[in-house]
Every structure is written in C-alpha cells, then in structure tokens.
Amino acid sequence: MSSLEEVARRISVCVDCSLSKNRTHAVPGEGPADAEIMMIGEGPGFHEDKQGRPFVGPAGRFLDQLIASAGLDRKQVYITNVVKCRPPNNRDPLPGEIAACRKHLDRQIELVNPKAVATLGRFSMARFIPNQTIGKVRGKARSVEGRLIYPMYHPAAALHNQNLRKVIEDDFKAISTLAKQAVRQPPADDPPGEQLNMFSSGGP
C-alpha cells in the first residue's frame, strides 16, 4: 500500500471481520496526507455508515466545534477510527474486529506520520496506552513510539453526560500546542506511567 487512497480502497473491499457484512459504506478516514495532527475515534455510527465519512453525525458536529476552539480547521486534521465499519447498533467494537482493522490504522499512521495523535475514547487510547482508564490519563500527553499521544474522551460522551462537556472542551484547547511542541522537541518514549505534564489540561 503506497498511499492513503490505496489504503481506503483496500478498506472499502475488506471482509476480514463480520462488520463488513452489514455496512452501507466503509469509513476509511479523511484529511490531508501531511496532517500534523491525527484524531482517532472508535468506529463509524449511523450517519458515518451512510455517508462513508468519519464524524458527520451529532458527535461530529461537536467535534467540529472543538477543533475550531483549538484554533484549527477540520481540513487541517486527519480523522479516522479504530474500526472502519459500523458495529451493529453502535455497540462497542470487539477485540477481534479491532485486531482485524489494526493493519489499516497502522498504515494510515505510518503514511500521515502526524506529529501528534489525539485519541478520542478508550478504544483508540488502548491502541497506544493499554491497561489504563481514560478518566485517569485524559488530558495528559505522553510519548509512545516516538510520537505525542493525547488521550481524550470521545465527543459523544458529552452528548450522553453533560458533566463531561467542559472537561472535553478544556482538553481540546491544548491540542493546538501539541504539534508545535513536537517539532521543537522531538519526543522520546516516556517510561510506563509517565506523561508530559506540560500538556496537562488539569481538571478531573
């Protein structure tokens, strides 16, 4: 696979897990091939499955607002998900489904080569920071595999729990500094349990 377009083509015909059986469209992801920031969510929902684009439903509209609040434009960010096809009834993706899609996600990360990755929700967080709870590590950047990883709650969490809305908004405000800091100071991997507190947004 030599380009994001080729990755998307392969995703569109992928039948490596059962999620392919009921999809309307696979949702590879979208954004510039040289994006400094990549955002990785959980999986497509109803609207994403219909349109073949990530984050276009209610959570996507909130994500657009959050990206703008960080002083960015959605067109500057590469956005994708851990799994590329909608889980039935928006259930959590299963371990086998995540494993089947990992080769696609890993290749996207390799091709885009972002300075920083914002993980949206616990499933994308677990790709880089396993065996942790999102409530403990959110809002604190750390280096994993030589790349800045910034775990956050999924935007949909605020739609179900209004108490999380300000937490998510505060976390997003720090995103615009991540890529800039990564350029000035290329990260070395943090020891387990360590994080780059310079990016901590504070809060619960």
Per-residue pLDDT, averaged over 77-93, amounts to 96
Per-residue pLDDT, averaged over 59-67, amounts to 95
Asked if the model's pLDDT at residue 204 lies above 70, the reply is no
Residue whose entry in the numeric block shows the structure tokens 């990360």: 109
Range of the domain at 145: 4-183
Q: How many residues are listed for the chain in this entry?
A: 204
Is residue 190 situated within a structural domain?
no
Is residue 30 situated within a structural domain?
yes
pLDDT band at 183 (very low <50, low <70, confident <90, very high): low
Per-residue pLDDT, averaged over 57-86, amounts to 95
Task: Summarize pLDDT for 150-160 with one digit per residue, the tens.
Answer: 999 999 999 98
Task: Summarize pLDDT for 92-151 with one digit per residue, the tens.
Answer: 999 999 999 999 999 999 999 999 999 999 999 999 999 999 999 999 999 998 889 999
The Cα-based distances of 64 to 29, 55, 60, 92 in angstroms read: 15, 9, 6, 23
Asked if the model's pLDDT at residue 197 lies above 70, the reply is no
* Non-local CB neighbours of 160 within 8 Å, separated by 6+ positions: none
Asked if the model's pLDDT at residue 86 lies above 60, the reply is yes
Is residue 156 situated within a structural domain?
yes
Task: Summarize pLDDT for 3-60 with one digit per residue, the tens.
Answer: 999 999 999 999 999 999 999 999 999 999 999 999 999 999 999 999 999 999 999 9
Is residue 196 situated within a structural domain?
no
Is residue 174 situated within a structural domain?
yes
pLDDT of res. 145: 83
pLDDT band at 181 (very low <50, low <70, confident <90, very high): low
Structurally, the chain folds into a number of domains equal to 1
Asked if the model's pLDDT at residue 196 lies above 80, the reply is no
Asked if the model's pLDDT at residue 199 lies above 60, the reply is no
Domain of residue 140, CATH code: 3.40.470.10
pLDDT band at 188 (very low <50, low <70, confident <90, very high): low
Give one DSSP letter per residue of 103-130, joined into a string.
HHHHHHHHHH--SEEEEESHHHHHHHST
* Bigger pLDDT: 187 vs 161: 161
Is residue 204 situated within a structural domain?
no
Is residue 49 situated within a structural domain?
yes
Tokens representing 192 are: 């387990």
